[in-house]
Amino acid sequence: MIVGVLALQGGVEEHLAALEALGATTRKVRVPKDLDGLEGIVIPGGESTVLDKLARAFDVAEPLATLISNGLPVFATCAGLIYLAKHLDNPARGQQTLAVVDVVVRRNAFGAQRESFDTTVDVSFDGVTFPGVQASFIRAPIVTELGCTTEAIAVLNSGEVVGVRQGNIIVLSFHPEETGDYRIHQAWLDLVRKRIELAI
Ligand code: GLN
């Protein structure tokens, strides 16, 4: 089983380190042929407007959106969440997304870089709770509306939705890959494995 990490910009190495620490075989994805045979893909944080521009320039945006719509499992953090959202409250001029997760997202919802913070947040799905996940919020987005196929899996004490699941897609506003707390990477890899087993 090979899982990809979209390697155009942002926290690519941190996600590769997390996945490899958990025993996964990984591949950097930059161009359409890198998508061949992947069982799942991670979309890292960084800057969603840059991710968008580079993915279009490398012609990887369209095939990636198609694969995800057809069920390819995804784990995305921060800018990755923004890049997957169907709607943005405050897109930059000309900003496009892959529009595959049925949520509305507000970019930079906690303010500028200096308002970045670390905290712990409980993440729950499939009847399992991961208590106190170590989370870095860096110019983080929030989810302001959920669609009917999406569920909130992480909510801050102040009420903001910062994690969502839609089928095999897990998206987080924050960066567990920055903190060394890899429990959600592990849970997502388990989802990927379960999907392969069901298909056999
Ligand atoms: N604010 C950034 C954006 O709009 C996301 C920041 C991050 O990924 N840490 O893409």
Yes or no: say if 194 and 32 are a contact pair by the CB < 8 Å rule: no
pLDDT for the residue numbered 95: 98
Asked if 87 and 96 touch (Cβ cutoff 8 Å), the reply is no
Integer CA distances (angstroms), 146 to 39, 50, 80, 87, 150, in order: 26, 25, 17, 10, 6
Compute, in angstroms, the gap from residue 135 CA to the centroid of ligand 1: 14
pLDDT at 112: 78
Mean pLDDT across the stretch 10-22? 98
Q: What percent of the chain is modeled with pLDDT above 90?
A: 96
pTM across the whole model:
0.96
User: What does the pLDDT read at residue 200?
Assistant: 74
Q: Determine the average pLDDT of the residues in 42-51.
A: 98
Number of domains the chain is built from: 1
Residue 34 vs residue 115, higher pLDDT: 34
Structure tokens at 109: 């919802």
Non-local (6+) Cβ contacts of 96 within 8 A are: 52, 56, 61
CATH (domain of 105): 3.40.50.880
* pLDDT score recorded for residue 163: 98
Q: Which residues contact 196 (CB under 8 A, 6 or more apart)?
A: 1, 39
d(CA 38, CA 97): 21
Residue 5 scores a pLDDT above 80: yes
Confidence (pLDDT) at 115: 80
Does ligand 1 come within 6 angstroms of the Cβ of 177? Answer: no
Round the average pLDDT of the chain to a whole number and report it: 96
**Ligand 1 geometric centre to CA of 174 (Å):** 9
For residue 48 and ligand 1, the question of a CB distance below 6 A is answered with yes
149-167: per-residue pLDDT in tens?
A: 999 999 999 999 999 999 9
- In the chain, what's the furthest Cα-to-Cα distance? 49
For the segment 106-152, what is each residue's pLDDT rounded down to a tens digit? 999 998 777 889 999 999 999 999 999 999 999 999 999 999 999 99
Residue by residue, DSSP assigns 53-84 as: HHHHHTT-HHHHHHHHHTT--EEEETHHHHHH
What are the tens digits of pLDDT across the range 71-85? 999 999 999 999 999
The first and second tokens of residue 141, run together, are 């987005």
Decide whether any atom of ligand 1 lies within 6 Å of the 14 Cβ: no
Active site residues: 78, 175, 177
- Is the pLDDT at 187 greater than 80? The verdict is yes
Domain range holding 94? 2-199
